[in-house]
Structure formats: structure tokens, C-alpha cells
Amino acid sequence: MGTVLKQILKIFLYFWAAPNSLIGLTLGVVGLLTSGQVQVRNGCLEFFGGAISWFLARLGSRGVAAMTLGHTILGQSRETLDLVRSHEQIHVSQYEKWGALFIPAYLSCSFYLLLAGKDCYRENPFEREAYRLEDPRLNNWRK
């Protein structure tokens, strides 16, 4: 595929995932207004600290290290983002495939698993794929 075609495809993927990215951007701005920080890595805005850390610490039963919304990644800290980046980048690719349908699809899978008495996070197919594909040389954060 030619360079121009690749660039057009990449722009399309950013627009396709944009509704989700806007949610992450909104949360990220709140983080910035509360002493959070932002950095750009691998074509994504990564927000951390401030209200972002507070928000993530209260998700789920024990909090979460990071969360991807389109081309934005929210993380507890810069160090946390370094540890989970390859996992979160898999989710970015998933958003590029699913676009605005990603969040409803992810939540539907989790809800179904919950009703079936299974782990709605670890057994979610989106998470299973991310854990399977992440770079094990870079990430040992689960241990």
C-alpha cells in the first residue's frame, strides 16, 4: 500500500475512533485542570495524575492501572503507563477496528460474562486478546 494511502487510512481510523477519543479527551482535560499531565506516545494522548488517578483508583472493585478510550489513554502515573503501554495499544487497535461500537461491544461482553457467573474483565474477549498480544518483554506488571 502506498504511503499516501496509508496516511489516508490512518486519518480515517482516527475519525472512526473519534467519538471514544472525545470521551477520553474530556476526562483528560479534567485531569489537566486538577494538576494532571499529558504526553504523546505512539499516536495517542496519554493523560495521568490529578483527577485521572482519582477516577481510575475507583473503577472496578480494586481500581485500574489504565484505561483506553479511542486514541486517548488514561493512566495512574507516567510509570504505570510505561508498564501497561503495549496492552493499552492493543485496545487502541481494537478501537480502530470497532470505532464507536467498541464501548457497547466491550460492555455487552462484560455484562454477558457477569450473568454467566464468569470474570467480566479477565474473560472479556477484548481483554483476552490484549493480554495475548501484549509484548511480554515490556510488561510484567500483572505479576
Report the C-alpha gap between 84 and 87 in whole angstroms: 5
To the nearest whole percent, how much of the chain has pLDDT over 70?
94
pLDDT tier at 141 (50, 70, 90 boundaries)? Answer: very low
Those residues with Cβ within 8 angstroms of residue 136's Cβ, 6 or more apart along the chain or in another chain = none
Domain ranges of the chain: 3-133
Supply the pLDDT for residue 66: 97
Sign of CA dihedral 50, 85, 104, 111: negative
Supply the pLDDT for residue 120: 92
Question: What is the residue-averaged pLDDT of the chain?
Answer: 93
Supply the pLDDT for residue 139: 53
Q: Give the chain's largest Cα–Cα span.
A: 48
Length of the chain in terms of residues written: 143
Cα 17–Cα 21–Cα 27 angle in degrees, nearest 5? 165
Mean pLDDT to the nearest integer, 114-125: 95
Instruction: Average the pLDDT over each of 30-34, 69-73, 129-133 and give the range with the smallest value.
Output: 129-133
Supply the pLDDT for residue 114: 95
Judged by phi (left if over 0) then psi (alpha if -120 to 50, else beta), residue 110 lies in alpha
Q: According to DSSP H, which parts of the chain are helical?
A: 3-33, 50-57, 78-98, 102-115, 125-133
pLDDT in tens, 1-59: 789 999 999 999 999 999 999 999 999 999 999 999 999 999 999 999 999 999 999 99
Supply the pLDDT for residue 4: 92
